[in-house]
Amino acid sequence: MKTKYFLLLAVIVAVGSAMVVAAAPPAGTGTITGKITYTGTPPKMKPIDMSKEPTCAKQHATPVTTENVVTGPGNALEYVVVYISAGDQGSTPGTKTVEYDQKGCQYIPHVAVMQPGQPLEIKNDDQTAHNIHPLAKVNQEWNKSQPPGTAPIETKYDKPEFIAVKCNIHPWMHGYFAVINTSHYAVSANDGSFSLAGLPAGSPAKLKLPSFAETAKWDVLMTAK
């Protein structure tokens, strides 16, 4: 019996619409690949003024911009989380530590994906203090200061949730934690591409992401099976 896959797409902010075409994997273990694109006109991201933190500003040859919507060539959408949300019989527990860095007054990576109970290590590589504040609602919310040179913050989340992250000292710093119940996931690259490997054979899917309001955060869509 073939496994039926449901893919769930989580988009920080979507504009227009996005299209994913997932190829049918061969018999046995296979791979689902696709590309996330948009239609319409994405909002223009504003340059960030880091003049109040010169140690961060000098790390950027040109001013960086906000990352509410990150687009790439060919109407691509970056930082879209794609994962198997149901029928995943081959998932394995997350044991490797996920690293989340604060460098140049930015969160790197912009979106960090992890499983419930998976170790998370948050570092500060800047010469200034940060105050990391994950805005969890299902898991416990916390807010910790992290001066330069201090040890990494070691933590984990027990329940699946999409969590916005901010710095209370530097208001332009925003990122996301995606806590999901599967080891089969991907974050779309700058060209919109993604790949989910090591999957039991399943059905092909053609997915369409509808339009969302620009203020929407982590809107999700259950797709065809």
Q: What is the pLDDT of residues 55-89, one digit of tens each?
A: 999 999 999 999 888 888 988 888 888 888 777 77
pLDDT at residue 40 in the model: 79
Handedness of CA 18, 163, 176, 194 (dihedral sign): negative
Q: Using CA atoms, how far apart are residues 90 and 113, in angstroms rounded to an integer?
A: 18
Give residue limits of the domains in the chain. 1-91+185-225, 92-181
Average of per-residue pLDDT values in the chain = 79
Q: To 10 degrees, the CA torsion angle through 92, 93, 95, 99?
A: 90
Q: How far is residue 18 from each of residues 9, 88, 154, 212, measured CA to CA in Å?
A: 10, 24, 35, 10
pLDDT at residue 215 in the model: 26
Q: How many residues make up the chain in this entry?
A: 225
Q: What is the pLDDT of residues 14-56, one digit of tens each?
A: 333 344 444 444 445 778 888 888 777 888 899 999 999 999 9
Q: Using CA atoms, how far apart are residues 38 and 192, in angstroms rounded to an integer?
A: 10
pTM of the model: 0.80
CATH architecture assignment, domain 92-181: Sandwich (2.60)
- Render 56-82 in DSSP notation, one character per residue: HHTT-SS--B--SS-EETTTEE-S-EE
